[in-house]
A = this chain, B = another copy of it.
Amino acid sequence: MVKIIGKENSLLNQYISELRDVNIQKDSLRFRKNLERVGEIFAYEISKKLDFEEKEIITSLGTAHVKTLKEFPVLAVILRAGLPFHQGVLNFFDKSENAFISAYRKYYKDGNFKIHIKYVSKPEIENRPLIIIDPMLASGMTMGHTYRELVNDQKPKHTHMISVLASMEGVNYVKRNFSGSEVTLWVGAIDDELTAQAYIVPGLGDAGDLAFGSKI
C-alpha cells in the first residue's frame, strides 16, 4: 500500500520545495529543520492509522474520557541521512523506542552494487508497530534490506516505511517485494527518474551531505 502525502497540498509541499531548492539548501540549519518538520507531519499522518484506547483522566475540574495511543511505534532510522527526519518523528512520538541501522552500497567492477548492513542497534519489535525512516527511497534496496535485518527474528504488528522523496522504481520495488497487509509505504512525492548511480531526479541531491557535510 502506498500513500503519497503530498498529493493533497499542505505545508508538507512547502517544506519539500525548500528541501529541493539548491539555494535554500545552502542553509543547513533550515535544511535539517525542514526534514524535522516533514518527520513531524509523517508521524502525525501515520498516527491516524495506529490503535487508540479510551482512558479516564482526572483534570483539575472533573473527569475526562480521552483517547490515547495504545502503544508507541518503534522508530528505526537509517544512518546518517535519516537522523534529522527521525528527529521530527521522535519529536512527535516522544515515548518511542528507537533502532539505528547503517547500510552501505558495496560496488562491483561492473558498476552493480549490493547493500550491506554494518551497524544495528534495536529494541524489542515483536508485535509492535514499526516505522523505518530513510529520507530518500532510490532503488528501494536499502529500505528492503533494513526491513529484513530488523524483522528476521521478530514480527512487527505492521511496518510503515517512510521517505520524503521516492523514485518510481523504488516504489515499485517495495510494492513487488512486500505485501500491503504487512507494509505501508509513505512518501512525500514520487520523482520519475533514477540515475545509474541511484540518484533520484530531480530529487534534492544527497540528503546526508546537505544535512551534515560531505564525507571523505
Contacts and interface: CB of A to CB of B under 8 A. Distances in A.
Interface in A1-41: 6, 8-14, 16-17, 20-23, 25, 27-30, 33, 37, 40-41
A202 B61 contact: yes
A66 B100 contact: no
A17 to B, nearest CB: 4
Q: What DSSP secondary structure best describes chain A's contact surface?
A: mixed
Interface stretch (A87-95, A139-147, A155-163, A178-186): A87-95
Interface stretch (A51-59, A107-115, A169-177): A51-59
A21 B57 contact: yes
Contacts of A122: 215-216
Interface string A90-130: 01111111101010000000000000001101111000000
B80 A213 contact: no
Given A11-B47, A44-B41, A102-B102, A67 B17 contact: yes
A59 B189 CA distance: 15
